[in-house]
Structure 1
Amino acid sequence: MSVKIMADSACDLPLDFYEENGAILFPLKVHIDGSEYEDLRTIQPKQVYDSIRAGNLPKTSQASPAGFKEVFTELAENKQDGIYIAFSSELSGTYQTAVMIAEQVKEEYPDFNLSVIDTKCASLGQGLVVMEAVRLAKENHSKEEIVKAVQFHSEHMEHLFSVDDLDHLAKGGRVSKASAFVGGLLNIKPLLNVEDGKLVPMEKIRGKKKLLRRIIEVMKERGVAFEAQVVGISHADDLETANEMKKMITEELHAKDVYITSIGAAVGSHTGPGTIAIFFLNKQPS
């Protein structure tokens, strides 16, 4: 590919995606019991969910500045254009760090053509943007064309998700404590979305079946041309619900394809087990 595509592990694409497509991964860090792990490389989501179930909430930190410096410098030395598609700046400092390192490298290599893009997306919402960028890069589209597509898909990517316990997001500062509530005993399911890169609670729904039905209703309200787009589903140790959701989306919305992946260790440290998330476009590319 004439343009090197880069992403961080918060996009929740599997490791083999990077290997098969020549993309570069910047892993976020996960900390459990005093040990530091690299998301996707040295820790798997199941370890995180087991830790949370045992009452031990993991912590996370952004991707390594040294990792950015090494990769960006190598691309600059090889005179290769690059696009880094970043996790929402409202949820992590990773984007700001990448921008800072990119500026340092460009001081030494003024002709380095690198774009660092804040998707304002998370999990597979970000992942679908990365997948589109890789597709275009493999078809040898120009860097400008890919950047334009990344910006469009980022702007129009809908996120709908539900967590078993909002306390995990509140403790990590991802939603306000005032927004968190305990609903497990009452079978209350929160439905959230992402607005301008931030996690925002939408509704409280009683029961899983009503939750999944409501997700389909919101998709019909907000989505367009499902027969022409790939819908993403990410889940936290709940493949059964992901498959149930896929069946509903396929039968009722006739999506072109439905791509399922596990929520990774970094994002999963904040959502907790039992999370289900759906991603789709609310506008068709021209």
Structure 2
Amino acid sequence: MSFKVVIDSCGELTDEMKASGCFETASLMIQVDDHNIVDDATFDQADFLRRVAASPNCPKSSCPSPEAYRAAFDCDADHVFAVTLSSKLSGSYNSAVLGMNLLKEEKPDAKVYIFDSRSASIGETLIGLKIQECEEQGLPFEEIIDKVEAYIDSQMTWFVLENLETLRKNGRLSKVKAFVATALRIKPVMVSTPEGEITQLDQARGMNKALVRMVDSIVEKVVNPDETVIAISHCNCPERAQMVKETLINRIHPKGIFVVDTAGISSMYANDGGIIVVA
């Protein structure tokens, strides 16, 4: 059976996923003041981070249209799946569902399913790889859905922010708190809830201590590391990501682990120096 996986651009595709021909990106748009950016292969992270740092306003994003999703779903594949960032963070999931419904008005027998990642970034990447694994095992469409939904239920997402300006600009952190946290070098350790919302797990003075606390939490929560693939994405800090990778390998020996650089939407959330880990 042939298959296609459409992942919105908050999810980073690995080089292998791009080369497989089974994955397609649905691009979101980012707006920094009056400058519009398409989150696709042309995304310039360095330019984006400069614009965000210079702006007093929080960058905004807009999701792919239902028509764009419908066009992506309308293909010759026997099974079509979409993976979107958490519906608690974006309208991408709802837009994909509308796109699926538009297609089914014309092709009611089309086998299309939309996964709400309840995560972001490489959380979506891992879900896409899980779909590929199930397809390559030859599982029926409905069984793939059940297995991938169960996998999403088991996922956890952690991240540590170097820069608190995005939280301040979008109103999640007051100017005074952001100033005090910055002055004291306080770094929050964040985690996504099972419902896909973001909450603070811990905090530490200094980035290295925050990363240690994040890794400690990962080690505690990953029950069967020899069966677990861990993904790490970073925003402009490859050495930091490599350190987290090596520490996790030494401490829990996961089945697999890989590192990618954040694309546009993930760069907007993580900001310069941010680290995201999903297991």
**TM-score above 0.5, yes or no:** yes
Q: Which amino acid aligns with 2:267?
A: G
Contact 1:124 1:279 (C-alpha < 8 Å) held by counterparts: yes
- Summarize the Cα distance change of 1:159–1:82 in structure 2 as closer, same or farther, 3 Å threshold: same
CA distance in 1, matches of 2:189, 2:53: 22
Aligned to 1:40: 40
Q: Is residue 263 of structure 2 the alignment partner of residue 264 of structure 1?
A: yes
Contact 1:228 1:256 (C-alpha < 8 Å) held by counterparts: yes
Most deviating of 39-48 and 199-208: 39-48
RMSD of aligned Cα (Å): 2.3
Aligned to 2:89: 91
- Summarize the Cα distance change of 1:22–1:180 in structure 2 as closer, same or farther, 3 Å threshold: farther
Q: Give the TM-score normalised by structure 1.
A: 0.87
Most deviating of 87-96 and 35-44: 35-44
Q: Which amino acid aligns with 1:268?
A: S
Residue identity (%): 24
Aligned to 2:212: 213
CA distance in 2, matches of 1:153, 1:201: 23
CA distance in 2, matches of 1:222, 1:270: 23
Q: Which has the higher contact order (CA 8 A, sep 6+)?
A: 1
Contact 1:49 1:237 (C-alpha < 8 Å) held by counterparts: no
Contact 2:2 2:77 (C-alpha < 8 Å) held by counterparts: no
Q: Is residue 274 of structure 2 the alignment partner of residue 278 of structure 1?
A: no
Q: 5+ unaligned residues in a row in structure 1: which ranges?
A: 281-286
Q: Give the TM-score normalised by structure 2.
A: 0.90
CA distance in 2, matches of 1:266, 1:279: 16
CA distance in 2, matches of 1:112, 1:150: 19
Q: 5+ unaligned residues in a row in structure 2: which ranges?
A: none
Q: Which amino acid aligns with 1:5?
A: V
Please state whether the residue corresponding to 1:24 is helix, strand or coil.
strand
- Summarize the Cα distance change of 1:98–1:80 in structure 2 as closer, same or farther, 3 Å threshold: same
The Cα of 1:218 is off from its aligned counterpart by 0.8
CA distance in 2, matches of 1:186, 1:108: 58
Q: Which amino acid aligns with 1:156?
A: S
- Summarize the Cα distance change of 1:209–1:42 in structure 2 as closer, same or farther, 3 Å threshold: closer
CA distance in 1, matches of 2:206, 2:144: 41
Most deviating of 26-35 and 259-268: 26-35
Q: Would you say how many aligned residue pairs link Structure 1 and Structure 2?
A: 276
Aligned to 1:53: 53
The Cα of 1:14 is off from its aligned counterpart by 4.1
CA distance in 2, matches of 1:140, 1:3: 11
Aligned to 2:187: 189
The Cα of 1:201 is off from its aligned counterpart by 1.3
Aligned to 2:28: 28
The Cα of 1:223 is off from its aligned counterpart by 1.0
Q: Which amino acid aligns with 2:129?
A: M
Contact 1:238 1:274 (C-alpha < 8 Å) held by counterparts: yes
Matches within 5 A, 1:1-286: 1-14=1-14, 17-32=17-32, 34-55=34-55, 57-72=58-73, 74-75=74-75, 78=76, 80-172=78-170, 175=172, 181-182=178-179, 183-195=181-193, 196-280=195-279
CA distance in 1, matches of 2:223, 2:166: 32
- Summarize the Cα distance change of 1:225–1:244 in structure 2 as closer, same or farther, 3 Å threshold: same
Q: Which amino acid aligns with 1:271?
A: A
CA distance in 1, matches of 2:33, 2:268: 13
CA distance in 2, matches of 1:80, 1:130: 16
- Summarize the Cα distance change of 1:180–1:226 in structure 2 as closer, same or farther, 3 Å threshold: farther
Contact 2:68 2:99 (C-alpha < 8 Å) held by counterparts: no
Most deviating of 159-168 and 192-201: 159-168
CA distance in 2, matches of 1:15, 1:55: 33
Aligned to 1:284: none
Q: Which amino acid aligns with 2:178?
A: F
- Summarize the Cα distance change of 1:228–1:16 in structure 2 as closer, same or farther, 3 Å threshold: closer
Q: Which amino acid aligns with 2:124?
A: Q
- Summarize the Cα distance change of 1:205–1:254 in structure 2 as closer, same or farther, 3 Å threshold: same
The Cα of 1:123 is off from its aligned counterpart by 1.0
